[in-house]
Structure 1
Amino acid sequence: MKANTRRDHRLAFDTVAEAYDRARPQVPADMVDSILELTRLTAGEKVLEIGAGTGQLTLPLRRQAGVKVIALEPGKTLRALLEKNTATDAMVTVRGELFEDYDGGDGPFAAVVSGNAFHWVDPRVSYGKAADLLLQNGYLVLLWNVPTVEDQALRVALNTRAFAGHPDFVRGEDPRVELLAADCVEEINASGRYEAPRVEQRRENLSFTPDDYVTLLISYANAAVLSDGERRALVEGVRALLGEHGVDEVKVVNALYAVVARRSEQ
């Protein structure tokens, strides 16, 4: 995924932090396993996480790898929820800096990781600084996910009616994550700081109640930046449409991709 040119929205998630915490899915165990196989991370090694949210990647990393995580989360409300979610885990340190401002004093790191956040980092800083903070054989691990409503008729109705004024919410049948991953690979290669990246893809089936699906929608930046009235209208429109279709369960295909690149020795 290419760097986001609207970095002024990178802190918008703090306005929907509770929704983010309730609805955003954690990275699935099999995807974490694949990342661990590629990076060979071992218990006790230090990992820097950029844009940790409320722990959607932090928590499975701790469960499955036992690594020590320095989690950067600049959003005050998101950070408070992350601290709550990791309060009993002495191997997680939560910091409030933006990656661009972080001094790297906890490093160097065996891996720099980010879930659904790295595109918000200034591209003049992102890949180079990450490489500088890595150990000689360290890895950059970038993940994103794209949820798509499975039922075609419902998806089309949402796209054409509920999302008519919100094109960023519109989803096709196939999110084409391979193209998004290719953009990320292109950026990494252009930085000249990493060996050839590897890409991992997964699809998982998720199910949401109508209330939880609406909560998921408003956890994204394109809803977070709306005014209260606009967000309320969006929510009411989605609820009304789900009611019309008699939906009591929204089935979602969650397409995930991870791009993993080892720091080059040069």
Structure 2
Amino acid sequence: MDVNFEERKYTFDDIAEEYEKIRPTYPKELFQDLFTYANIEKEDRILEIGCGTGKATEGLVELGYKQIDCIELGERLAQFTASKFQNENGIHVYQGDFENWNQQDGLYALAVSATAFHFINPEIGYLKVANLLREHGTMAFFWTYHIQPDTDVFREIEDCYEKYAPHLHPNKLPTPEELIEERTNLTIQHNLFQNLVVKTYQWTDTYTSDDYIALLHTQSAHRLLSQEVKEKLFYSIHSVIEKHGGKIEKPQFVALYLARKNW
């Protein structure tokens, strides 16, 4: 796995509060679709891989599914989520890396991961998930993907990247369609899972210039920039948004992958 990519997964642990405040939540429809597919009981145990600050955990709990084991790499993130759900006796947060986590096979009816499983080696991760699931258990992994709209403000933001961080230029990012194809192939390879269903969700969020910069600051690729480059890039993007009225409309795109264990 790419060294830079390995480094990225450790960048979130010191910004738990910021991440919780500014990152978008997942739509309720996603969780409704998830449980319609999984068809599990409220008392069935759920595994959540890479819970972060518990944003997806909230979506599970709000629909009454509160028997959840969360595994989170970041120590502060794990503490944050444990505190957040301290009144839920059925929710347990474990700190450590999923690849080396020891847990009983066949324990879970459902495995969930929200914008996190790409940090896990797929050759290890998918097999481990399959083993942890009970017979014909469900995996439900979802990701937020970037969409670059063809608007004046985003075109000017592209110029900021071209000047200060060309390797992060939006045109160099894979499209949602490319990412979906890649993740679909990873999900069904080795015949571990069957009956794959992919669902997508789109909406638009409005950010002030300050909030949009705060959002960028929670993204791992931006956090790895040098302080000097980051300051110049963020200042220039902030200035562009201010020039366009101080607000920016950002399209959001989430893809949900549902599949059943093949045995």
TM-score, structure 1 length as denominator?
0.89
Query: Greater helix percent: which structure?
Result: 2
Residue 180 of structure 2 aligns to a residue in which SS? helix
**8 Å Cα contact 1:146/1:175 also seen in 2:** no
Alpha-carbon distance, 1:12 to partner: 1.4
Please state if 1:126 is matched with 2:112.
no
CA distance in 2, matches of 1:134, 1:99: 14
Using the aligned pairs only, state the percent identity: 22
CA distance in 1, matches of 2:85, 2:226: 31
Residue type matched to 2:108 in 1? F
| Structure 2 stretches lacking a partner, 5+ long | none
**8 Å Cα contact 2:110/2:133 also seen in 1:** yes
Alpha-carbon distance, 1:210 to partner: 1.6
Which residue matches 2:134?
135
Correspondences of 1:172-251 after superposition (within 5 Å) = 176-247=175-246, 249-251=247-249
Residue 104 of structure 1 aligns to a residue in which SS? coil
Residue 125 of structure 1 aligns to a residue in which SS? helix
Correspondences of 1:92-171 after superposition (within 5 Å) = 92-105=91-104, 108-148=107-147, 150=149, 152-162=151-161, 164-167=163-166, 169-171=168-170
Residue type matched to 1:158 in 2? I
Structure 1 pair 126–251 and aligned structure 2 pair: CA distance change class (3 A): same
CA distance in 2, matches of 1:233, 1:41: 49
**8 Å Cα contact 2:165/2:229 also seen in 1:** no
How many residue pairs were aligned? 261
**8 Å Cα contact 2:49/2:72 also seen in 1:** yes
| Structure 1 stretches lacking a partner, 5+ long | none
Residue type matched to 1:123 in 2? P
CA distance in 1, matches of 2:45, 2:2: 27
**8 Å Cα contact 2:112/2:139 also seen in 1:** yes
**8 Å Cα contact 1:175/1:255 also seen in 2:** no
Residue 20 of structure 1 aligns to a residue in which SS? helix
Residue type matched to 2:249 in 1? K
Which residue matches 2:253?
255
CA distance in 1, matches of 2:62, 2:92: 15
Residue 25 of structure 2 aligns to a residue in which SS? coil
Alpha-carbon distance, 1:119 to partner: 0.7
**8 Å Cα contact 1:114/1:141 also seen in 2:** yes
Structure 1 pair 57–4 and aligned structure 2 pair: CA distance change class (3 A): farther
The CA RMSD over aligned residues, in Å, is: 2.3
Instruction: With a CA cutoff of 8 Å and minimum separation of 6, indicate the structure with the bigger relative contact order.
Output: 1
CA distance in 1, matches of 2:121, 2:139: 16
